[in-house]
Structures are given as C-alpha cells and as structure tokens.
Amino acid sequence: MLTDALGRRFYYLRLSITDVCNFRCTYCLPDGYQGKPNESFLTLPEIRQTITAFADLGTEKIRITGGEPSLRKDLPDIIAAAAQTKGIRTLAMTSNGYKLPKRIDGWVEAGLNQLNVSIDSLDPRQFASITGHDRLQEILTGLDRAAELGIKVKVNAVLMRGLNDQLSEFLGWLKHTPVTLRFIEVMETGDHSDFFKKHHMSGQSVKQQLLNEGWQPVLRAKSDGPAEEFWHPDYQGRIGLIMPYSKDFCASCNRLRVSSLGKLHLCLFSDHGLDIRPWMAAERDPAELQEKLVSLLQHKAPSHLLHEGKSGGTQNLSIIGG
Ligand code: SAM
Ligand code: SF4
C-alpha cells in the first residue's frame, strides 16, 4: 500500500498523458500551448507499466488528464489499458470536451466510467472568451450523451471574481441536470500570479450563499477527496466546492500525480517533479518502480505552502493536469 510518513493513504493516481492543449483558458494557457512540438510524452507501454505498478500498490482509481488528453490519437488504447488493469475500479478522465459528442461513445466502449468536463460559464459568449473556443453547445450535447451512456459525469468550473461569479445561471441549470458541478477556487501558479490576485475568490462565500438557500452538506466518507459537496431537494444536480486555501485541505490528500514526461509530483505545488521515467520502461521489473514509489513517497510534505504565496515550481496546471 502507498502510505506516506503521516499515514495518508494513496489509492488515486492522476496521470497526465500530454501537456498539449488546444484551448486557451485565461487562467491556464492564455496564449495557447507554447511547448516544444516534439516533446516525447509517455508511451503506451510506459503507461501500462506505471498503472500496473500503482495498481499493485493499492491504487484503485486512475484519472487521465493533460493538457488535453483527447488530443492523443491513442487515447482509446490508453483508456483500455488502464481499465483492464487488475485492481483499477474507476477509470476517470478530465477533458475540455472538445468534439465530445463524436468521441464519447468510443471512450466508454474502451472502458471509461467517469468523465469530468470543464465548463467555466454557461453563457456561450463568456465561455468563448474564457477558453478561446465557441463550443459550449457542442460540449453540453456531449455531456448529455455521456449521461445517456450511463457513466458518472461531473463538471468543473473555476471560480473567478468578476468573470463568472454569477451563480444563478449554474443553479438554474442544476435544477434539471443530474450532474455534480464542482467549483474550484482559482489557484496561483508561476505564470499567473497577477491573474490570481485579480480574480481569486474564496469558495467560502459560495458555501454561505448555498447554505442560505437551503443546500445541505453531503456527509463525507473517510476516503472522500477534498471537495465539500452539497445537495438540495429541489435540484437534480449537486454542487462541490474545492477550496485549496481552506484549513486542513491537505489532511485528506489521497492522490499522487505523474506528469506526461514521467515525473512523480507528490503535490500539485511541489517545487519539482521526481523523475521516475527510467523505471517506467516496459522491459524493467515493475517491482523496481514500486520500490522507487514507496521510497519517494516518504518525502511528501504535510501541506502545500500556497498561504505563504509559494506555489512551487508548477508554471501552469496544463503541465500536470490539475
Ligand atoms: N484540459 C483538461 C480540462 O481543462 O479539463 C484537463 C486538464 S486541466 C489542467 C484540469 C483542470 O484544472 C480543469 O478543470 C481546469 O479548469 C483546472 N485548472 C487549470 N488551471 C487552474 C488554476 N490555475 N486554478 C484552478 N483550476 C485550474
Ligand atoms: Fe487546456 Fe484544460 Fe488548461 Fe483549459 S484548463 S487551457 S482546456 S489544459
């Protein structure tokens, strides 16, 4: 089992398969992807080896992320490899929803059973101005199809003061839409300190508004992640709040991250990733990778240092996938 020095257990791996993205979200890649076009991202055999090693150490949930994971042509093979690994019970993915209606059937056929799609605004013009793409309707159509196929669907919206802080549109939508909408506080990253200072708003104000309007906290299981969830008898959807700046956020940390270049990130806001790529090679014994993971995990810090204005070495979240 993957356990750190503080006794936190890690059964959830977020695996980035590419840094490349075709969107230009204002808080992430406002100028679009600027990396090297020929960067050599993890190969399918390396991915398979890594997932097997994690699963043997008790990992039950894998989230495929990026950049934009759907830009990889071999995505269905990656989904299938992860879904077929012994011990993996949940195979999730986070996507910007690009061409979702065309692609979702293939992903579900390959074994995807949970999809998170990022939708920062339900106003088409605002959505286009945040992401650089006028594709809201297409994404919503894809979400409906995902729900029809019976997989669990969640929507991520980054809370931004002055940009999308009108909750009424989201609430109206949730009345009739059975999804969980998760508001994520915008996090400070190396590239976007100024954006953060201008637009960060605390999820606590949203929480207060929800409680005032009769939303009730969902009881949390011990193994739940950091989102605080709320339900309301008049609404089909639920709301989750992810508030990394709140007290004790890191106490329930249950996830590890591997970047698309084969670096283990013990925290989203570590100073740097730890290179495990040599151990990911398919020719090596997976037990060697397991040993490496167990020993590196002992260095996991108790908490991030965001409160002190230290956002670590992560320049933007497209590099390790949020
Ligand atoms: N491209 C995919 C997408 O947007 O869903 C997957 C990668 S993206 C980095 C994963 C999640 O991180 C998205 O929900 C995105 O909104 C969120 N994200 C990116 N930068 C962020 C930031 N600075 N603060 C909070 N969330 C952020
Ligand atoms: Fe791309 Fe996702 Fe970053 Fe938006 S948040 S630019 S979709 S990686």
Q: Is the pLDDT of residue 46 over 90?
A: yes
Atom index in ligand 1 nearest the CA of residue 21 equals: 1
Ligand 1 contact, 262 CB (< 6 A): no
pLDDT band per the 50, 70, 90 thresholds, residue 311? low
Which residues fall within 8 angstroms of residue 170, CB to CB, at 6 or more apart?
A: 122, 157, 181
Mean pLDDT computed over 276-280: 97
| Per-residue model confidence as pLDDT tens digits over 81-122 | 999 999 999 999 999 999 999 999 999 999 999 999 999 999
**Which of 156, 137, 134, 157 is CA-nearest to residue 145?**
137
Atom index in ligand 2 nearest the CA of residue 24 equals: 6
Q: How far is the CA of 303 from the centre of ligand 1 (A)?
A: 20
Q: How far is the CA of 287 from the centre of ligand 1 (A)?
A: 32
More confident position, 44 or 221: 44
Domains, the chain, in order of start with CATH, read 12-308 (3.20.20.70)
pTM, full prediction: 0.94
Q: Which two tokens stand for residue 149?
A: 């196929």
Ligand 1 contact, 94 CB (< 6 A): yes
| Cβ-count burial 204-240 (b if 16+ within 10 Å, e if not) | eebbeebeeeebeebeeeeeeebbbbbebeebebbbb
Q: How far is the CA of 284 from the centre of ligand 1 (A)?
A: 33
The rounded distance, in Å, linking the Cα atoms of 174 and 190 is 34
pLDDT given for residue 36 in this prediction: 80
Ligand 2 contact, 21 CB (< 6 A): yes
Atom index in ligand 2 nearest the CA of residue 158 equals: 5
Mean pLDDT computed over 39-61: 95
Ligand at shortest distance from the CA of 30: 2
| Per-residue model confidence as pLDDT tens digits over 280-296 | 999 999 899 999 999 99
Ligand 2 contact, 68 CB (< 6 A): yes
The rounded distance, in Å, linking the Cα atoms of 47 and 167 is 39
Percentage of the chain surpassing pLDDT 70?
97
Ligand at shortest distance from the CA of 116: 1
Q: Choose the residue to mutate in 29, 99, 116 for probing ligand 2, maximizing ligand atoms within 8 Å of C-beta.
A: 29
The rounded distance, in Å, linking the Cα atoms of 201 and 187 is 10
Cβ count within 10 A of residue 257: 22
pLDDT given for residue 7 in this prediction: 86
Ligand at shortest distance from the CA of 33: 2
Atom index in ligand 1 nearest the CA of residue 66 equals: 7
β-strand pairing of 12-16 with 255-258: parallel
Ligand 1 contact, 317 CB (< 6 A): yes
Ligand 1 contact, 121 CB (< 6 A): no
